[in-house]
Structure 1
C-alpha cells in the first residue's frame, strides 16, 4: 500500500477525530473481521454489529479505526489506536476506495470466464514481469472479499495489475469491478458453472457480463470470438474498444496451424496482415485461447507482438493443469485436478483425442460441484461426451459422478466402467492396467484432497 497520512484520510472522509494522533501514516488497510489484522500501521474499517477487540487493535498500534459505531462503544479505544468517526461506514469505505484507486494511472486487467482465468492471469503477469512491477491476485484465490486487500497491494512502484474475478453469485463481479476499476477486461469463455448461485445458464451469463459495465470509460474488452455463450453478452452499453481472439472465425488475434509440440502447442498468430510463429507451454487448443487473450492484453498495454511472443515462450504451465508425468509401469499420467466443470472436461477430452491414438486410455472423473438444480443434466451430458470417444476404462469417484458412468453405459460406451464413492479400492483396479501403453487422465475438484493425493501417488518419483 502507498503510505497515507491519517490527517489526510480524515479530511477525505470528513470524519471526526475521536481518539489518538492523526500525524502518522498508514501502510495497510483492511475491513475488520473480514480480513486478518497482521500489521502495524493498519487502517481498518470497523462496522456496527461485529465484535471489536480493542486490545488486539492496540497491540498492532499505531492503528487507525474508521467507524460509525456509537460514541459509547468508542470509549474503549486505547492509546495506540486512532479513531475517526464517520456518518456512514459504507460511504466512507467506497470513498476511500475511489480515492486510492485514483492515485494510480496504470493498466489494470481483470479476467473472468469459466475456464482459463488463472492461467491467462499468470501468462500476463509472466510476460510483463521482466521489466514491470506487477500486482496480481494469488493463484486462483479470487473471492470478492480478497479484492480490497489486492487493491491495497498496489503502490507507487506498481506498473500494472492483473486480477481474476471470483463468481459465486450475481453481483460478485460488479462488486469487484467497483474496487478494481479495470482498464482492460477479459472474458475467456462462458460454459456452465455456479448455477447454484446464478439459478440457470442465462443467469450465469448475465453474472459474467457484469464485467462489461465494470470497465473504465474508454477501456478495452477482450472476448473469445468462437465461444457461443460469450456471443450472448450484450455490448450495447459498452463505449470502449473490443478485441476479439479466436481460432475458427476471423478476428483481431487469430491462431491457426495449431499443433502439439514438445510440452506445449505451436501455432501461427495473425494480427492485422502480419503473421508470427508462437509457442505456449501446456497442451490443448484451450491453452492457445488463453495465450491469445494474454497476448492481446499486453499488446494493448504497449508491448510489441514479437516481444510478447518471445516472453510467452518461457512461460511454465501451472501445476495440476493437464500436467504430464511418468507413471507406474511406464504409463503416462495427466494430472488435471485443479478444477472440474463441463467446459474444462471437454477441453481435457479433446487433448486425449489428440494424444490417445493407439493407447489404452483411462479416464478418472470426480464430482462436478455447484451445478444447482442442473446437476444430473450436466453430469449426464459428460457421460454422453465420454461414450462418443475411444475410452477403454472409465472410473468415476463420488455420488454425483455416478451419473456420468450410468449415462456413458446407456449411450453404448465400450469402456470398462467402474463407480467408486471415494478413492478407496481404486488402486486395485488401476495397478494391473498401468503399463507403457496406458495413458490416464485424472480430473476432479480442487476441494478433493483425496483425489489430488491419489493423482500424486500415481506419479513416479513424486
Structure 2
C-alpha cells in the first residue's frame, strides 16, 4: 500500500482515464493561464516542483519562487535541465538552456494553485481534516498508521499544515489515492476556513482547544473561533469528532453543523471512551467498548494525552468502517513524529525524553506527567524553556507550569530562556526546594550542568521551537 513522501519530493498530478498521470506542456500552459514561450506543446509532463531547486530533476516542470534567490534557482535549472520551467515575464530567459521548455505567468504561485485545483477536480479522495491546539500531528500520524493498511493516501508532512502548503498536496493526488488526510494548522483566523473552502472535509476531528497560538490570535476566544472554522467548513453529512473531556471544546458551536457529532474521552461519557488506561514498559494500554464489545488497544508512546489522540484516530477509522483488528494493528505499529516524547539514550546511562518540537502549557504539563510516571525510582529532571506565542497570557502560563512542577516535585528543575525563569521562580515559591532549581541563559550552560547529574537520571526536554532544544539533547545523547 503506497504512502506519500514528503512534499519536498516531486509533485505528481493525474486525472481519470490517463494511466500515465501526465499532461502536455501546451495543455499545462492553458491550465495555469500561462504563455508557452518555447518548447514542444505535445511534450508530456508527469511531475512538478514548486520552488525546491535542491530537489530538481530532469523529468520535472519547475515553478519559480520569489522566496529563493534567482541565481540559486537558475544554477539548478542550468545544471539539471528540467523539461520546462514556469517564470514571470520580468526574468531574463536567455540564461536558460534552449532545451528547457518555458511558460511565463504573472504569478507562479497562483499558477501552481491553478494546477493543484485542476488536479483536485479530477480526483475524488475522501477528505479528513484534523486540527487542535495540541496533539493534531500525533493524531494525524496515528490515523495514517491505521488507514494506510487499507488505502493509498496523501497526507500532511511534518508541520507543513497551513493554507500555503495545501496545493503541494493537491497536486500530488492521483485517482489511486483514496484518502486525503490533512492536519489543519493555522497562525491566524481564516486559515483553516480557506483550506476547508477548497477540500470540504467529510470527516473532521478537533483534538482540543488550548493556549497554542493565543499570542498571534489575541485571545482564547479567538482560538476557539479558529478551530470552529473546521466545523463550519465541513461538507454536509460529515462526521465530526470532539473531545468530551476538554472544557474549551464545549465552547465550539455545533448547532448549525449538518452532520453527525461524535465524542471521544476518558472521564466523561463519550462515543469512543477509553477505560483501564495504564502505563506499561513500552507505552500505553487501554480498552474501548465498540459495538457492545470491549477491545484492548496498545500504543508505543507514553502519556494519557496520547490515549486521547488514539481515541480520535479510532473514531475516524470507525467512521470509515475500518475493522477493529486493523485499528489495533495500526495503532500498535504507529511511529511517533520526531521530537514528540522521543526516548533517546543519553551519556552515562541517562534516558533523555526529547519533547522539543514545540510547547504550550497544556502540552508541557502532559509531558511532565510522563516524566513522573517513567522515572519511578530514578532521578527525574525537567528541562523547560520559553513557551512563545502566548501573548498577554505568557506570564500566567509559565506560572501555571511552575505550580505544576512543584506539585509533581521532580528531583531537579532546569529552565532556559528569559520567559522560562518564571517557571522556576513559581515552583520555588510553591514549595519546591530552591537549591534544586537552576536557570541558564543558554543551552550550553544547561548542558554543562546536566552532565554533572546522576548517571541514571531521566531528563525531560520541552520548549518552543525557536529554542531548538533538540540541539541540547544532541549534546547529551550517547555517542
Q: TM-score, normalised by structure 2?
A: 0.82
What's the secondary structure of 1:316's corresponding residue?
Answer: coil
Q: Residues 11-30 of structure 1: matches in 2 within 5 Å?
A: 20-29=39-48
What's the secondary structure of 2:432's corresponding residue?
Answer: coil
1:61 and 1:429 map into 2 onto residues whose CA distance is 52
1:166 and 1:111 map into 2 onto residues whose CA distance is 9
Q: Which among 441, 456, 472 is matched to residue 421 of structure 1?
A: 441
Q: Residues 310-325 of structure 1: matches in 2 within 5 Å?
A: 310-325=329-344
Check 1:429–1:40 CA distance in 2 against 1; reply closer, same or farther (3 A cut).
Answer: closer
2:230 and 2:342 map into 1 onto residues whose CA distance is 30
Larger mean Cα displacement after TM superposition, 346-355 or 44-53? 44-53
2:355 and 2:112 map into 1 onto residues whose CA distance is 40
What's the secondary structure of 1:147's corresponding residue?
Answer: helix
Q: CA deviation at 1:402?
A: 0.6
What's the secondary structure of 1:433's corresponding residue?
Answer: coil
Q: Which among 169, 175, 181 is matched to residue 162 of structure 1?
A: 181
Larger mean Cα displacement after TM superposition, 148-157 or 336-345? 148-157
* 1:244 is the counterpart of 2:263: yes
Q: Contact (CA 8 Å) 2:127, 2:200: kept in 1 or not?
A: yes
What's the secondary structure of 1:333's corresponding residue?
Answer: strand
Q: CA deviation at 1:83?
A: 3.4
* 1:257 is the counterpart of 2:276: yes
What's the secondary structure of 2:193's corresponding residue?
Answer: helix
User: What's the C-alpha RMSD, in Å, of the aligned pairs?
Assistant: 3.5
What's the secondary structure of 2:286's corresponding residue?
Answer: strand
Q: Contact (CA 8 Å) 1:383, 1:406: kept in 2 or not?
A: yes
Check 1:34–1:229 CA distance in 2 against 1; reply closer, same or farther (3 A cut).
Answer: farther
Q: CA deviation at 1:230?
A: 1.7
Q: Which among 183, 196, 199 is matched to residue 177 of structure 1?
A: 196
Larger mean Cα displacement after TM superposition, 357-366 or 415-424? 357-366
Q: Which among 321, 324, 343 is matched to residue 362 of structure 2?
A: 343
1:5 and 1:358 map into 2 onto residues whose CA distance is 66
Check 1:30–1:457 CA distance in 2 against 1; reply closer, same or farther (3 A cut).
Answer: closer
What's the secondary structure of 1:125's corresponding residue?
Answer: helix
Check 1:183–1:45 CA distance in 2 against 1; reply closer, same or farther (3 A cut).
Answer: farther
Q: Residues 47-196 of structure 1: matches in 2 within 5 Å?
A: 60-63=81-84, 65=86, 80-83=100-103, 96-196=115-215
Q: Contact (CA 8 Å) 1:21, 1:82: kept in 2 or not?
A: no
Check 1:217–1:83 CA distance in 2 against 1; reply closer, same or farther (3 A cut).
Answer: farther
Q: Name the counterpart of 1:223.
A: 242
Larger mean Cα displacement after TM superposition, 365-374 or 55-64? 55-64
Check 1:110–1:29 CA distance in 2 against 1; reply closer, same or farther (3 A cut).
Answer: farther
Could you tell me which runs of 5 or more consecutive residues in structure 1 were left unpaired when the two chains were aligned: none
